[in-house]
Amino acid sequence: MKTLFITISTLITFNFFAQSSIWVSSENMSSVQESPEFISTMGQLGDIIITHPFTSSRNEDLLKVYEISCECNEIDLYSLMHKVPGLSGIEYAPKYETLADPNDYSVSFTGNWALDLIGAKEAWDYTTGSPSVVLAISDQNFYVNHEELTNKYVYYDASNTSTKTHGTAVAAIAAGSTNNSIGMSSIGYNSSLSLRRMNYNDALNASYAGARVINLSWTSGCSYNSYAQAVIDEIYNNGTFIVAAAGNGSTCGGANNLVYPAAYNHVFSVTSIGAQDNIEKVIGNPNTRHQTNSSVDICAPGHNVPLTAAPGWYLYSSGTSFAAPYVTGTVGLMVALKPNLTNSQIDSILRISAVNIDSINPSYIGKIGSGRLNSAEALRMVQDMIDQENSQDGNNGHGNDEDGVDSSNPGNGNGNNGNQGGNGNHYGWDKNDKNTLGEISSYEVYDMTGRKTNLDYAPVGYYFIIENGTSKRIYKNY
């Protein structure tokens, strides 16, 4: 009878705890599992499951990482594993959660204020994207039979049984079917979608499968994890640009707190604005804002944005989950226009082209990144980069040296490279006429890679200046 009572008590305790997981490193996990200390730990915690969380990594150190899970107290698991020889780098594993805010759903909408605000139609004048550019959406799951997703995705795991509404909404904003006379338009227009599960390993899979940008509209926790950062670094170094939702205000205990993966290095963090470029969903109520902190890189529409969560279901909702894919889709257009853009160039262009909204949100200066996403200006800057690359040698071009460019170099040749663009749409600046745009020192000046520079000491070439949130291209000719 005593034995039976103990067994029942153990079962009750076992069922009380939720699934807990930690990440550890080990050179020889088989030996670790045979050690007396590990066997003793199993006796205290119950059944333990050991898996590889990063099977898709090509980093030797990450391939030595293991996830240890059990139906047990998370703190007990963490503490006891520190007593097991052969284990190092013990950290809590992520707890993946989406970043939607479903409490303000409506039933219908007309128009799309979010696309208007970021200048989608003007951006599409440069390109409507390309199916060859793949945007990966790492999320819960997706309604692949949705009218916005059918024939848009190049990958989907049919064995996924998670909830489908959140991922569907995110994917449709980033690159749902556009110009098909039904539903809604998407900033990513003709871009393709890779629909992935919500975890770091699937993010690795997406990158190695060729995704040019990946959207992470979820949180994996509220503290730094060195293994997750190593995964992010691997993805970034593989050439994939990473966009993540910054958090929904209450995430991680408050809007000022860091949320991961958005706060990791090499992740472009996106918070929400409303139709008036307002950080606060209800203007005047700071408790209605989403994350505002040092990790935020840019703002995008995320308060009461039009979206779709299931076939035939179109509605309004809020969340940085829905702000991030506007940036992701914009990056898709940028890469379609100029496929060899580097991650650092994408980052710089998004920041430089953003509309400064500090005056509208003075309480959050320094906590909302570079401002509000301006897709139209970002695409214009990419086009300027293309024009600049096609106009390096004025001597064999057909340009006319307008706008302050050196008249001794008329560029009357018949080659394909027009002198300084050859179209007179740039702004000249030389040492005899510094006032073409007023006093140049009063402007922020950036080189073509997005690095801030001093034009007085910079070499001959093209530069961007920022004036009232808008960039202009200039040419320095001496």
Please tell me the pTM assigned to this model.
0.76
More confident residue, 238 or 466: 238
pLDDT tier at 109 (50, 70, 90 boundaries)? low
Average pLDDT of every residue of the chain: 82
Q: Compute the average pLDDT of residues 62-74.
A: 91
- DSSP letters spanning 33-54: HTSHHHHHHHHHH--EEEE-S-
Is the confidence at residue 6, as pLDDT, over 70?
no
Instruction: Give the neighbor-by-neighbor strand order of the sheet with 298-301.
Output: 153-156, 192-196, 134-138, 213-216, 241-245, 268-273, 298-301
Fold of the domain built from segment(s) 97-378: Rossmann fold (3.40.50)
Point out the least confidently predicted range of 16-25, 97-106, 155-164. 97-106
Give the pLDDT confidence score for residue 435 in this predicted structure.
40
Is the confidence at residue 194, as pLDDT, over 90?
yes
Nearest-angstrom CA–CA distance, 124 and 455: 32
Euclidean distance between the first and the last CA atom of the chain, given in angstroms as a whole number: 95
One fold for 17-92 and 97-378 = no
- Percent of the chain scoring above 70 in pLDDT: 77
Q: What is the enclosing helix (H) or strand (E) of 136?
A: strand 134-138
What residues pair up with 273 in beta bridges, in sequence order? Answer: 301
At 103, list the tokens: 């409490």
pLDDT tier at 476 (50, 70, 90 boundaries)? low
Q: What is the largest CA-CA distance in the chain?
A: 104
Point out the least confidently predicted range of 13-27, 62-76, 303-317, 422-436. 422-436
Spatial contact of 65 and 24, defined as CB atoms under 8 Å apart: yes
Q: Is 294 exposed, middle or buried (0-12, 13-18, 19+ CB in 10 A)?
A: exposed
Q: Which sequence spans correspond to the domains of the chain?
A: 17-92, 97-378, 384-476
Give the pLDDT confidence score for residue 439 in this predicted structure.
47
Ranked by mean pLDDT, the top range of 93-97, 107-111, 403-407 is: 93-97
More confident residue, 398 or 4: 398
Is the confidence at residue 440, as pLDDT, over 60?
no
At 395, list the tokens: 């001597």
Q: Compute the average pLDDT of residues 15-19.
A: 57
CATH code for residues 17-92: 3.30.70
pLDDT tier at 13 (50, 70, 90 boundaries)? very low
What residues pair up with 50 in beta bridges, in sequence order? Answer: 68
Spatial contact of 20 and 77, defined as CB atoms under 8 Å apart: yes
Work out whether strand 305-310 and strand 313-317 pair parallel, antiparallel, or are unpaired.
antiparallel
pLDDT tier at 475 (50, 70, 90 boundaries)? low
Is the confidence at residue 330, as pLDDT, over 50?
yes
Q: What are phi and psi of 370, to 5 degrees?
A: -80, -10
Count how many Cα atoms sit within 13 Å of the Cα of residue 426 in the half-sphere of its side chain.
Answer: 32
Q: Compute the average pLDDT of residues 149-176.
A: 95
Q: Compute the average pLDDT of residues 256-262.
A: 96
Peptide bond between residue 261 and the one before it cis (omega within 30 degrees of 0): yes
pLDDT tier at 473 (50, 70, 90 boundaries)? low
Is the confidence at residue 215, as pLDDT, over 60?
yes
Q: Is 468 exposed, middle or buried (0-12, 13-18, 19+ CB in 10 A)?
A: exposed
Q: What are phi and psi of 339, to 5 degrees?
A: -60, -25
Work out whether strand 19-25 and strand 65-71 pair parallel, antiparallel, or are unpaired.
antiparallel
Give the pLDDT confidence score for residue 418 in this predicted structure.
36
Instruction: Report helix angle 375-389 to 343-353, nearest 10.
Output: 130
More confident residue, 74 or 258: 258
pLDDT tier at 448 (50, 70, 90 boundaries)? low
Nearest-angstrom CA–CA distance, 407 and 417: 17
More confident residue, 102 or 330: 330
Spatial contact of 246 and 327, defined as CB atoms under 8 Å apart: no
Give buried/exposed letters for 344-366 (b at 16+ CB in 10 A, else e): ebbbbbbbbbbbbbeebbeebee
